[in-house]
Amino acid sequence: MTGELVMYSPFAVSLLLFLVGIALAFFGNRIIPFALVFCALIAGFFHSGSILQQFTENPDILRFGPPVIAVLLAILVSFLYKAVFFVAGMLMGFFVSTILMPDLSIVPAALIALATGALVYLSRNFVFSVLTSVLGAVLTATGTVNLVAWLNISAGIAAYWAVVAVTALAGLFYQTKRNRGRK
């Protein structure tokens, strides 16, 4: 997927992937909305074309549809970002409270649900640190290998995975150390 993106401009796209990858690996949990929008744009751009082909053969729709769908998906993801964690915590809290206390009325169960929704929303940093470190490492490795190739130097699969491993571990270490005391 990212290899196809590099074909648009071998240097510029590789440099963009490298820079975005480093930012995600080391600061990912701080820039989650950007990371989600970036992923939505990339996924929407690459995958909506094959979905659109199932419905039409119109070349204009197949040309302009993927960027439009990518932008719409990015808007949707950024809108739903905060609500999803909160709602997931609310649902879990409501069901746990009604299971543990079957005679509990709806008002206290709803208050417990609100509290658990807030707690889940506030304790997501570690999960995001892991995910953004790995995603950032993959983007960094893709950008690095393609930048090196742009310089006419061959980098094999071992170099790619070495960059992934080092960047992911360094990014995770940096993010978790910086987030001590934050949930």
* pLDDT digits 0-9 by tens, 47-69: 888 888 889 888 888 888 888 99
Checking if the pLDDT of 19 tops 70, the result is yes
In this predicted structure, the answer to whether residue 71 has a pLDDT above a threshold of 70 is: yes
If pLDDT is split at 50, 70 and 90, which confidence band does 165 have? very high
Q: Is the C-alpha dihedral spanning 69, 24, 1, 12 positive or negative?
A: positive
For 179, residues 6+ apart whose C-beta sits below 8 A from its C-beta are 29, 125, 126, 129
Q: Which residue has the tokens 């701080």?
A: 30
Nearest to 127 by CA among 67, 82, 183, 177: 183
Amino acid occupying residue 88:
A
Q: Count the neighbouring beta carbons within 10 Å of the beta carbon of residue 160.
A: 16
Q: Which of 43-52, 60-69, 137-146, 150-159 has the least mean pLDDT?
A: 43-52
Q: What confidence category does residue 158 fall into, taking pLDDT thresholds of 50, 70 and 90?
A: very high
Look at residue 3 in the predicted model and tell me its pLDDT: 56
CA distance 28 to 93: 28
Q: According to the model, what pLDDT value does residue 102 have?
A: 77
pLDDT for 2 equals 55
Give yes or no for residue 149 having a pLDDT over 60: yes
Residue 176 — very low, low, confident or very high, per pLDDT cuts 50/70/90? confident
Region of poorest pLDDT, from 72-86, 121-135, 136-150:
121-135
Say whether pTM exceeds 0.85.
Answer: no
